[in-house]
Chain A
């Protein structure tokens, strides 16, 4: 039984089609992780096999080698219009940020450069509400200023699937088609659909990556789950948060919030 997955899938496809119809220049961010892989899959469903916008990787050159291998293989097999945006170095980041948070901020700057250079009006991002408390407050269509700032206190009303799709000059919108999905949903859906997965998610020598990030700021967690079935079983009983292996989140009480308010995904 997976009526709930059908419902999530239908809703995400609806959102993708709204975005494609209403937003002039659109791109999708692909982190190569399980969530954005599922999002790519949903795009292929929504648009009958061909993804009608570019797929962008914000690259820090710090991903694990398996991630790059996976990227190149899937890009070829799925005939993606891949654009790789090189993120600026850590030295150029806000030096008041704690060091690990600073490393993560590189992607924010990479995204800003991307938006400025290509004038994208909408960027699709595969974040989920259950990942992290500040992401829980997101809208499906979430406007940002030119600097990428997110005004969490003044977000647009969003009801009955009527999304905010008109913006003044200079504002871009983040579109979050996976907001209502949970980590468990993504795994169950990946299993049901046979979506390719970076092997780092599967346990090797008692450890696996539960959330995939750059090698300098992400660490594998203790696990013996070496198949999707075992991951699903593990998630049904675990009380450890998904981003436990993301060093920057836990650096200080508000580091993730600080990252997001200035434009992190």
Chain B
């Protein structure tokens, strides 16, 4: 017998007999521990009820009193074929989040429908959720056939109705099985009362389901969970969600665009060297160079990159009483990445009864809807239909997971830009006319390191040479472009994003933009680099904290030391120095003019006349 267990979820309307079916399955496959049947008999007798199979599952006191299942429970049983774990999902509307919790883990589902009542609202809602949660293997159990005297006509009506509904969701049930869970008909053995039914019994159908497979042949998606430094190794840890990676592969990381080669796949207590790993494996790798890579970044191969999007359409289910509303901002978590997204539009609220839809302004608890989300930062993702694990996510509000969603449409940021821009003047023409290329010189460093001084000196020097140039100063833009922003982490990130976007526009117009911002966080600068693309040049204006504090041109260090400024970089907030800037200027060691000369050399070399010579071979993508 294979050990590999199949996870099944049993869903359906309240009182259609899910728990009874489970009690039956456990008993009829000989999976109940000794004494359990006697215990259930005693529990039933105490409550003045006939023998109640549902009590097998309803182990909690509260449930026995209410007579309904409260939370998703996992129970193990075995057939001759293999072991199973049943996830019992509650049918009561208010317990939807438990149903989602249970069903999302399943390989296959049984949808239980009362033969007498037929598919009710919850039966349909659960079927819809199975489809949303990605459970593709479904069988329908038409229960309580004893109540309709095993009428084949009644069975046909119920079966056809649910088949039609599932077909609209793109689901085809593997079987529709008439049973009486209470009496054990068509559970393990074929019932004489339904000689008109030729399909499988419940057990036969379970054994026919297949475990969910992850295919190593899909494009590689390796989202990072964490970076560990257990010794002199720097290990990028995570789980491969699809595809395969090998030692020696060149990996690209989204959304930063960084790339590096895999040197090793690290393993503890593993005598042989690991040379490749595939979907489903939790691994750690080391790279041939130090790149900026952190939790949330997705590694992939160059040829099959995820899409970078700012705007996406999702199909979502909403779990909490506070409705989702247009204009509100939530956190979207896809794989391990988290992004702030704002609801731009509720395109359609879906009526699960008949699958009709209406546009709306809000999505309420237990509703499913199609919604357009917009993100400030680029999100690396896939369509759920292509790669489910990087094409779906959870929505978080405050401390709580409030909904889940599948990505159904993506507006590709890169593609969108190409269609937007139809300038008749090309970048190359601008460069030839100006005698230099456009670019973003991003000066980062502590307050007092000399960024502003250097920026203004560079602007003067370039201008005097006839260059098109302009300084975007962190403090200056706060008076206009970014006047509405404060100093929260979100606002600081947004401040940097806007400067980066503005700088990019100037650079597109052919200018050399000198952006001078402390920009202390690697992640924020990485986003600026993504925005600026290949025209982005990171320059670390480096000086010791002590030097900066001594210079203190704006008197800010004094105030920070006195506790008058909260979260001041270098004093009460971290400065994360760049790992691989294009240039480091050490203003401790260099005089002002030496520092300027070094910067000028770099700008001249990368953007000046000489850089234009090979221009003809370069293709520009705006």
On A, residues with C-beta under 8 Å from B are 1-7, 9-11, 13-14, 17-18, 20-21, 44-50, 129-130, 133-134, 136-137, 139, 152-153, 155-160, 162, 164, 166-168, 180, 182, 184-185, 188, 193, 239-241, 253-254, 257
22 CB contacts below 8 A, A to B, read A3-B4, A44-B268, A48-B266, A49-B269, A130-B74, A130-B76, A134-B59, A137-B71, A152-B62, A155-B71, A157-B98, A158-B104, A159-B100, A159-B101, A159-B133, A160-B404, A162-B333, A168-B399, A182-B76, A188-B3, A240-B34, A254-B61
* Cα-based distance from A156 to B404 in the complex (angstroms): 13
Q: Does B394 contact A (CB under 8 A)?
A: yes
A120, chain B: closest CB distance, angstroms = 18
Task: Knowing that A17-B282, A166-B396 touch, tell me 12 more A-B residue pairs with CB under 8 angstroms.
Answer: A3-B4, A5-B3, A6-B281, A7-B4, A17-B237, A21-B225, A47-B228, A48-B228, A133-B59, A153-B70, A155-B101, A193-B269
Judging by beta carbons under 8 Å apart, are B282 and A50 in contact? no
A47, chain B: closest CB distance, angstroms = 7
Judging by beta carbons under 8 Å apart, are A2 and B399 in contact? no
Set of chain A residues within 8 Å of B61, measured between Cβ atoms: 253-254, 257
Judging by beta carbons under 8 Å apart, are B100 and A157 in contact? yes
Set of chain B residues within 8 Å of A4, measured between Cβ atoms: 2-5
Q: Does B50 contact A (CB under 8 A)?
A: no
* Cα-based distance from A166 to B400 in the complex (angstroms): 7
A251, chain B: closest CB distance, angstroms = 14
| Residue in contact with B268 in the complex, picked from A45, A129, A158, A162, CB distance below 8 Å | A45
Q: In the complex, which residue of chain B has the Cβ closest to the Cβ of A3? A: B4
A12, chain B: closest CB distance, angstroms = 8
Query: Which residue of A11, A157, A240, A253 has the most chain B CB atoms within 10 A of its CB atom?
Result: A157
Q: Does B387 contact A (CB under 8 A)?
A: no
* Cα-based distance from A129 to B88 in the complex (angstroms): 13
Q: In the complex, which residue of chain A has the Cβ closest to the Cβ of B75? A: A136
A100, chain B: closest CB distance, angstroms = 19
| Residue in contact with B280 in the complex, picked from A2, A7, A130, A137, CB distance below 8 Å | A7
Q: In B514-549, which residues have CB < 8 Å from any A CB?
A: none
Q: How many residues of B contact A (CB 8 A)?
A: 58
In the complex, per-residue mask of B166-198: 1 if CB is within 8 Å of any chain A CB, else 0: 000000000000000000000000000000000
Q: Which 10 pairs from chain A and chain B are nearest by CB? A: A133-B59, A159-B104, A162-B394, A157-B97, A13-B282, A4-B4, A166-B399, A241-B33, A10-B282, A129-B74
In the complex, per-residue mask of B380-411: 1 if CB is within 8 Å of any chain A CB, else 0: 00000000010011101011110010000000
On B, residues with C-beta under 8 Å from A are 2-5, 30, 32-34, 59-62, 70-76, 83, 85, 97-98, 100-101, 104-105, 133, 225-226, 228, 230, 233, 235, 237-239, 266-269, 280-282, 284, 295, 319, 333, 389, 392-394, 396, 398-401, 404
Judging by beta carbons under 8 Å apart, are B268 and A49 in contact? yes
Set of chain A residues within 8 Å of B233, measured between Cβ atoms: 48
Set of chain A residues within 8 Å of B5, measured between Cβ atoms: 4
Judging by beta carbons under 8 Å apart, are B269 and A45 in contact? yes
Judging by beta carbons under 8 Å apart, are A239 and B295 in contact? no
Set of chain B residues within 8 Å of A257, measured between Cβ atoms: 59-61
Set of chain B residues within 8 Å of A153, measured between Cβ atoms: 62, 70-71
A14, chain B: closest CB distance, angstroms = 5
Query: Which residue of B237, B282, B401 has the most chain A CB atoms within 10 A of its CB atom?
Result: B282
Judging by beta carbons under 8 Å apart, are A157 and B269 in contact? no
* Cα-based distance from A55 to B225 in the complex (angstroms): 23
* Cα-based distance from A260 to B618 in the complex (angstroms): 67
Set of chain B residues within 8 Å of A17, measured between Cβ atoms: 225-226, 237-238, 282
Q: In the complex, which residue of chain A has the Cβ closest to the Cβ of B64? A: A253
Judging by beta carbons under 8 Å apart, are A21 and B295 in contact? yes
* Cα-based distance from A97 to B280 in the complex (angstroms): 45
Judging by beta carbons under 8 Å apart, are B70 and A152 in contact? yes
| Residue in contact with B74 in the complex, picked from A21, A44, A136, A167, CB distance below 8 Å | A136
Q: In the complex, which residue of chain B has the Cβ closest to the Cβ of A193? A: B269
Judging by beta carbons under 8 Å apart, are A166 and B398 in contact? yes
B129, chain A: closest CB distance, angstroms = 10
Judging by beta carbons under 8 Å apart, are B394 and A1 in contact? no
Set of chain B residues within 8 Å of A21, measured between Cβ atoms: 225-226, 295
Q: In the complex, which residue of chain B has the Cβ closest to the Cβ of A166? A: B399
B175, chain A: closest CB distance, angstroms = 26
Judging by beta carbons under 8 Å apart, are B3 and A157 in contact? no
A174, chain B: closest CB distance, angstroms = 15
Q: In the complex, which residue of chain A has the Cβ closest to the Cβ of B98? A: A155
Judging by beta carbons under 8 Å apart, are B3 and A47 in contact? no
Judging by beta carbons under 8 Å apart, are B268 and A48 in contact? yes
Set of chain B residues within 8 Å of A133, measured between Cβ atoms: 59-60, 73
B374, chain A: closest CB distance, angstroms = 21
* Cα-based distance from A43 to B393 in the complex (angstroms): 27
* Cα-based distance from A257 to B74 in the complex (angstroms): 16
* Cα-based distance from A11 to B282 in the complex (angstroms): 7
Judging by beta carbons under 8 Å apart, are B319 and A157 in contact? yes
Given the contacts A10-B239, A20-B226, A2 and B3 also touching, CB distance less than 8 Å:
yes
Judging by beta carbons under 8 Å apart, are B60 and A44 in contact? no
Judging by beta carbons under 8 Å apart, are A46 and B295 in contact? no
Judging by beta carbons under 8 Å apart, are B401 and A47 in contact? no
Given the contacts A14-B239, A48-B235, A152 and B60 also touching, CB distance less than 8 Å:
yes
Judging by beta carbons under 8 Å apart, are B230 and A47 in contact? yes
* Cα-based distance from A17 to B283 in the complex (angstroms): 11
Q: In the complex, which residue of chain A has the Cβ closest to the Cβ of B398? A: A166
| Residue in contact with A137 in the complex, picked from B60, B393, B400, CB distance below 8 Å | B60
Given the contacts A153-B62, A159-B104, A137 and B228 also touching, CB distance less than 8 Å:
no
| Residue in contact with B394 in the complex, picked from A11, A14, A130, A159, CB distance below 8 Å | A159
Set of chain A residues within 8 Å of B230, measured between Cβ atoms: 47-50
Judging by beta carbons under 8 Å apart, are A1 and B3 in contact? yes
Set of chain A residues within 8 Å of B269, measured between Cβ atoms: 44-45, 49, 193
Set of chain B residues within 8 Å of A155, measured between Cβ atoms: 71, 97-98, 101
Q: In the complex, which residue of chain B has the Cβ closest to the Cβ of A188? A: B3
* Cα-based distance from A9 to B105 in the complex (angstroms): 16
Set of chain A residues within 8 Å of B104, measured between Cβ atoms: 158-160
